[in-house]
Structure formats: structure tokens, C-alpha cells
Chains A and B, each alone.
Chain A
């Protein structure tokens, strides 16, 4: 079956603009989480959604937001882009949320965002 699909794969934005990234989870998966990866900070958790509800949010400013639709697809939005937002944004999906679910988290190929 198809894996986690992220679009777009690559994009370049100008400082001050906003961007929306999309993620389609593996069929049947209801939990979607987002991570930011940069050389300096490594992999940092942004937020997780389950059944259209945000379960948790990482330590990021309010410019970072997300949502999940009834078909489990998710989008994340970054407004008023800053140079430091340049990163690889990874989306991941799992069957259900929570540590005791025991299910594995599968990642997409990521969306490369460059802010100039």
C-alpha cells in the first residue's frame, strides 16, 4: 500500500510569506505528526493530530499551525516566514496515537522549505 505522501517536495519562499504543506497518511492511519529537521536543532516535534484533534504541540511559535481533515490528511501552515524556518519538514503517520498503542510511526519523504 502507498506510504506517507508529502507535497510539495521542494519549495522556495520569500521571507514574510506563508506556506502550506500537505501530508496524506498511510491508508487506515488516523494519527499524523509533523517534525522539523535542521542541521543545528536536529529533529523537533511540531504537533500531532488524531481524529481531527490536535493532541500535542511542540515548542514552536504560533506562526506554526496545522489541521487534520476527516480523511486523516493533514496540512501544516507557517505564516510570516523567517530565514530560520528553512528546514526539512517531515510528516509521519501511525494507526492510532499514544505510547501504548505500540504501533510504528512511518515517515514521508519530507518537504524541503527554503526561505530566502
Chain B
């Protein structure tokens, strides 16, 4: 079974600064998809970014980018120019054949 680990429960960043959220996973599969989801206080899960494992190029979505290291099974999320609206819980997730496996999540706070 796949496992997803987010070792940092909380992080804080100054507005306009850059922050990196870490995620590691364990799998024996070679092709898969990875996601970062954001969950604000409303609890709506919002897709932030996704990465196909067969692509070497790191995914980017505006201020959000990932550092995907397949050999190391690492999938970190970088948020540039942090905004107050980025404050939320962030979940890393692995898409297997039958389910989406989530990490425990990390609470990101943004200081004005």
C-alpha cells in the first residue's frame, strides 16, 4: 500500500515571502500522479497542482510550483509571493489505481 508522509504539522510564512511544504511518499509503482490540495477554513478541498510521475518537468501553476524528485520519492510544494489567502491546510496526495491516499496535512499560516 502507498503511504504519504507530511512530517511538518505547521509552518508559518511572512506575506510576500516564499515557503516550501514537504511531502514524501512510498510506492512500488513507476507511473502515478501526485497532487497538492488546499483546504481553507471552509473545508472545501481545492486542487492546487498536480504532477505526472512520467514527466520530468516540474509542474507550475502561477505562484505554485513543485519540486518532484522521483528517485527520492519527494514532492514538495513551493509557494512564491505568499498571500494572506494562502493560509490553509495543505494536503499532499498520491493517486493509485483504486484510491487517493492523503498525507496528514500541514497548516500554513501567513503573517501580514
Mind listing 27 A-B residue pairs with CB under 8 Å?
Answer: A33-B99, A33-B100, A35-B100, A35-B102, A42-B103, A43-B91, A45-B100, A45-B101, A55-B98, A56-B98, A90-B45, A92-B45, A97-B98, A98-B97, A99-B33, A100-B31, A102-B33, A104-B35, A104-B47, A105-B35, A105-B47, A105-B100, A107-B44, A107-B46, A109-B42, A109-B44, A110-B43
Kindly list chain B residues whose C-beta atoms are within 8 Å of the C-beta of A56. 98-99
Q: What's the Cα separation between A102 and B99 when bound, in Å? A: 13
Q: Is B52 an interface residue (CB 8 A)?
A: yes
Q: Is the CB of A109 within 8 A of B98?
A: no
Any A CB within 8 A of the CB of B104: yes
List A contacts of B102 (CB < 8 A): 35, 42-43
Asked whether A8 is an interface residue with its Cβ less than 8 Å from the other chain, the reply is no
Closest 3 CB pairs of A and B: A56-B98, A107-B45, A43-B102
| Cβ-based interface call for A75 (8 A) | no
Alpha-carbon distance A43/B43, docked complex (angstroms): 12
CB-nearest residue of chain A relative to B32? A99
Q: How large is the interface on B (under 10, 10 to 19, 20 to 34, 35 or more residues)?
A: 20 to 34
The bracket for how many chain A residues form the interface is 20 to 34
Besides A42-B102, A108-B44, 5 other CB < 8 A contacts?
Answer: A35-B102, A42-B105, A56-B98, A99-B32, A104-B47
Write out the residue numbers on chain A whose beta carbons fall within 8 Å of the beta carbon of B101. 45
Given known A105-B95, A107-B45, contact A42–B31 (CB-CB < 8 A): no
Assembled-state Cα–Cα distance A43/B103 (Å): 8
**Cα–Cα distance between A104 and B91 once the two chains are bound (Å):** 15
Closest residue to B100 on the A side, CB-wise? Answer: A105
What residues of B have a CB within 8 angstroms of the CB of A45 in the complex? 99-101
- Verify if A58 is at the interface (C-beta below 8 Å from B): yes
Contact of A88 among B35, B43, B50, B103 (CB under 8 A): B43
User: Which residues B14-45 have CB closer than 8 A to chain A?
Assistant: 29, 31-33, 35, 37, 42-45
